[in-house]
Structure 1
Amino acid sequence: MRARGAWLSHWADGEAEQSRDDHRAAVATLRADIERMGQRLRERDEIPSDSSNPSQTGPVHSVQARRPTRAERHAAIRALLAQGHPDREIARRLGISPTTVGAVRRSAQAG
């Protein structure tokens, strides 16, 4: 989301020429990303309902998702690179910067 926001700021500053259709596509993609993120958050916050115990219903707000380690992120990037995905798609899927994906790509090619 941060990478997409940075790109949209760059775009809004007039540093990139885009057609009206490109603007619409970007807005649609951003809306889809936000909806997916919301769905993931809702799924993470849900717990199984136990009708015999009312305290067991509703969202759980005290549980935080564990952030992947750097090694785990790099392994995920390398796996998606091996499948032939472009940097921007990998960045979008993993929620990281395309610059990070490019750095891992260059590192893998050099090593």
Structure 2
Amino acid sequence: MKLRDIAHSRTGDKGNTSNISVIAFDKSHYDFLRQHVTAGRVRAHFAEIAKGEVTRYELPMIGALNFVLTNALGGGVTRSLALDAHGKGLSSALLDMELPDMPDIVKTLQLAP
């Protein structure tokens, strides 16, 4: 199962730091996200670009996690030659993370057209 099956995401940036939110579609899946989308897994998922710390902030009232990746944007918007200097594509990349299957979600996905 992909993270995108149970959550959506947005990104932001400040200098060479990327901010990536992961928001559960259904708040009842928040604990599953907390368990499986850790700072360590996000760091490993972005091993090629995340050269600094990855910090996770928990927002249980809105069913979201917020990750701050330092030294992750190739020097920042004004210093990087990257096509995605702001890191906006990182949300899609994170949503591609593999998660263990949740039986109720897998059944729903199989029924979807």
TM-score normalised by structure 2 residue count: 0.24
The structure carrying a bigger strand percent of its residues is 2
- Structure possessing the higher relative contact order (Cα contacts under 8 Å, 6 or more residues apart): 2
**Largest Rg, 1 or 2:** 1
